[in-house]
Each structure stands twice: as C-alpha cells, then as structure tokens.
Structure 1
Amino acid sequence: MLVVRPAGPADLDHLLELAILSGPGFTSLPEDPDQLSERLDLSRDSFAGRMAPPERWYTLMLEETDTGDIDGIGSVKAAVGLKRPFFSFRIVNNTAQSPSLGLKLDHQTLVLVNECTGWTEVGSLFLKADRRKGGAGRLLSQSRYMLIGAEPELFNDIVLAELRGVFTPDGACPFWDHVAHKFFPMEFDEADLMTGSTDKQFILDLAPRHPIYVELLPEPARAVIGKVHPQGVPAMALLESEGFRPNGLIDIFDAGPTVACGRDNIRTVRDARPYTVAIADEVEAELPALISTASVGAFRAVRQKAALDGEVATLSRETALALKVRPGDTVRVKS
C-alpha cells in the first residue's frame, strides 16, 4: 500500500536521492545535504507545531508500506515571502497608439514584482519515473490539499504553485541563457542554490529595475515564457483539475508559470468530508477513496476503499493501520 506521511530527519538519504533524480531547475530540491537536512528538521518541527503557523513548511513522503521505499515527495509551505522576498516577473500588456498615424500596438513586458507575500505554496511534487502511472502522482498531489483542509486556519486564503520552466534535453534553459543570465552572471545551478539558501538580496541587487520588452528577446526565450517543463505537464494537469489557473506571474530564472486558487475553492479541500472510523475485515465499496487523518500533526493519507454510511466510514484493518487510526477516530474522505 502507498501512504503519504510526514517527512523527518531520518529521510535525508531518501530526499537526497529524489533531489538528484529531479534534475536542474527544481529549486525546492537542491542537491545539497545541508539544506535538505535543515528542511527535514523544519518539517519535523512544523508537524509538531513548534513554530508559528506562517513559518511552517510541511514536507510529505510517498512510502510503500511493504518495503519502506520512498517513491516521491510533496510539500506545503504555509506562507511565502515573509522572511525572504518571493520574486516573480509579471507579464504586463501595454498599449501604445498614435491617432495621427492610425496605429495601435500591443506590447508585452516583464516586470519584477513581489506580490505573493503570505500566500500558501504547494510544491516540491516529484515522483520516481516508475511511479508516474497508476495514480501515485494524484495521491501525492491531493494529499497536500487534504493536509490544508484538515486545519485550514493554518494556511492562507490563497494557495499558489510554481511550475518548473522549459529545459532542453541537454539541461540548458533558454530563458536563463538568453535573459536572466544577462543580469545574474553565474551558472543557473548557483543562482538556483542561492535562491533557496540566502535572503535573496542578490536578486534585489542585480535584477532588472525596468520592464523587459518581450518582443526584443530572442525567439528561444520568447517561446518558453509561461511554459511548463515536459516533466511538469502532468503536475499542471493535476493543478488545473483542482481549480488552479495561471495568474500572470512567471519564474525569474526559467520563466515557468505560477498558478493560484482560493484555498476554499480547491476541489479536494472543498469536497472532502469528516467521518467517524469503523474497522472491518472486509470493506464493500465500488471505488477507492482519498482518505486522510483529520489533523495536521498526525497527518497521513491513502487511496483505499471506504464504505460510507451516514457519518461513518468503515475501513479495512490494513487501511486503518496505514493511517494509524482506531475506531471512533475521525478521518476525512473525498470519494
């Protein structure tokens, strides 16, 4: 059985493996053991409630209960931009016209902004290649919304997600090579690492202070603005199915899109319902349901059969064990 559960310090080797597999441009998964170790400490303390809610960063692991193998990762950052700016480029449409010539021209520009302060972010969604079919990705993705829905008051009214931009098969990033690198004279990996490990002052110091006219950019850069890395297309589809939509912001390094949705309008947050647990040897249900615990601190999630009757959800013993729940406990179910 696959279960989504909190990540902690003991997961460092697994997390490092996933970071290496994720490849370039996955800012939240740097190939840096020290950073990853700090992140796992933060995850442990977040689930334990040892810090103020806006400072929490919950990391989730997708685990096979039979083998203990870790197949994927997802996360929820309670609030972005509070201690370090959350920079983006906003795509702005500008109109220029000359009545005397009878001309009207539309120009797109990229403007550096810091608009998302305090918003909740879902991210770090990554699965091993052999787990990208069969519903594991959907389970991991939706588990993040079940976490938010368990105690929504811990999260912001707006939830965003950043998607990785386009990279070529040889690892080159057209937007970085033709645009961002002109302002940040370093390797992409170095800038990416600094984004996650510093206060981002270097971005404020070096980023363009004036709008960048898209029409003046080379075609390879224009072609990837707001486009998703091929590996991110399934993640984008999952986000759209939950109600997320592009909000006109892109990443300043790789031009990947940002999408957002009102917290209470996310489909999984909205549709999941609380039930009291009952346990049986056999469960009669046509289709599996998304099931999670009802608190952030003890969060776990699975996709298994549940027989729903009134306010009671009957689970198999195996499912109850994976969720670590007992009869009379509360679970949340999205059928």
Structure 2
Amino acid sequence: MLDWTDRHCRQFHRHITRNTWLYTEMVTTGSLLYGDVQRHLEFNPGEHPVALQLGGSELADLAHAAKLGEQWGYDEINLNCGCPSERVQKGAFGACLMAEPQLVADSVKAMKDVVSIDVTVKHRIGINEVDSYEFMRDFVGTVADAGCKTFIVHARNAILKGLSPKENREIPPLKYDYAYRLKKEFPDLEIILNGGIKTLEDMDLHLQHVDGVMIGREAYHNPYFMASFDERYYGDSTPVKSREEILQHMIPYIHHQLELYGNGGKGLRLNTVVRHMLGLMMGLVGARVFRQILSDSKRLASGQPELLLEAASAMQNVMAFDRSKDEQAAITA
C-alpha cells in the first residue's frame, strides 16, 4: 500500500470506522535513520488504533525505528515480510525475508527488547516455487519462539522474479486453508488473514476459522464498504456517518492541513488529501461525476476543500435526474 495509506487516507478512513485497526504504508528503516522522521511518522491523534509497518532487516536499525514508532505514539509495530517488489528485494527485506526465519525472529526480538507495544509480522505463505504449508508453519513457529504473537498471513505465494507487485497480488493462487490450518496448529497465536477479501460475506466466512482479516485494496477503492464494520464486528452501535457527513468532517481537516503544510511549506496540495476519497461514492448513480470533479486539475488548483461538496451536489443532480427518468418510464408504462 505504498503511497496509499498515508495519514490523510487514514484520517478519512477513521471517519468511516472508529474501531478498525489502521496500518501505515511500509516505512523503511533507512527513511527513519537518514530521512525526515516527522514526515514519515507524523499522524493525527484520531487515527488510533494505528500500526506502523516497517521494512528492514538490520537488527539495530529495526530496533531504532521501532523505538521511534513507540515514541511517536503508534500502537503496534508491524514487520513487513510480504512485499515482493524488486526495490524492496534490493534492500534485503520484504518477502525475501521468509527465506531467513531466524533473521526475522532475531529482528522481532531486537524490536521487542526496546518497545513495550506489540511487534507483529505480515508475511506470505511462501516464496518462488516453495509454497508448502510446512514451509510457512516452520517460519511462523521460529518467529513465534522470539515472542511474536500476531501473524498477518497474505495467503499467496510471493514470486520474486518474473512477476510485478501487481501480478503478485493476482496470479499466485489464494490458499486460505493454510491460514486456517495455522490457527489450528497454533491456537495461542493471533492469526489474521489477508488477500482477495472483498465482501462482508467473505469476512464472515474467514472469521469462522481465524482471529481477524486485513482488507487492503477493497478498503481503499471502496471505502464505504467499511461503514458497517463497527456494529457488525465490534458491537459499536454509534450511528454510521453518511457519505455526505464524512465529506463535511473532512473539510475542516483539509483546511487545517493546508494552513499548516500548504503554500510551498511541505508542498501539500488539495489533491494530496482528496485523491484518497475518489471511491467514497462507489456503487452509486453519479459516482463517475463525483470522481471527475475531484480529479479535475483546474478545480483542484483552487485549493478549496469545499470542492468536495460541489462534487457531491453534482452527483445528487445526476441521481435526481436518474430517478426522474425512472418515474417517467413508470408513468408511461
């Protein structure tokens, strides 16, 4: 989810679900050792609970980055052992770490030694031609011995050569039964399933076998999908915000962010936030008009967050016109 689940995206998602855990995009240890720490770790207080996902393989660097994450207020540190991109492989981390379970175990221990928050691992079921259940089971067992209690299983193999990251999310077959078996074999571990989950019915089915599910691209492209999560999975009966209410709540946030970081400061522009909201109206009549307005470079250049309401109003006009056509057809019939 690189370049997707930044703090603006997470702030938007938090208006849709109050209880679901949110994860950062992967942040490399090098970015925190040699880059702008504030830019990578700053987040909004309302995002809690929120986890910092790290990419790296040097024990001292991971320990330092994890400590920074705790100091900045994150609720969990998550080690990425699932990303298959070539750039990540060159850094000797991501999915290639599955070939070195002891290194991952040592990494977990190094981080747990310096933080009091949970350290978790996200991984694939295997790499390249190695995708047996036993391979994944042994990996998890080794890392669990170092004190990791939560494993997020992306139930696909990672092909490190020959497939792009996008193809790695689509071509290797999903093997949900691996995660199911893992939970049976390690009942004391928290097993969370990831990969290809798109509907509430999918989630309900998986939750009969594992402790949780992680939603990635579906939550990004169709964010209002999460609107029922709080009541359905957390027993939270707080009224769900409508799509229009979410837009209203985001406007003062965007104004504040533009005041703090816009006008050449850190280069924040309206599109930096709005781009994460294009899927809010997915499935509704007029959603295309909503997206078009929020993707119009000339309108975005105005820097006015009220553009969100303009887009919603235009969509409502399309919906009203569509209803009018239906009524006329009914009268004619």
Shorter-chain TM range is under 0.3
Q: Normalising by structure 1, what TM-score?
A: 0.24
Q: Which has the higher contact order (CA 8 A, sep 6+)?
A: 1
| Greater share of helix | 2
| Greater share of strand | 1
Q: Normalising by structure 2, what TM-score?
A: 0.24
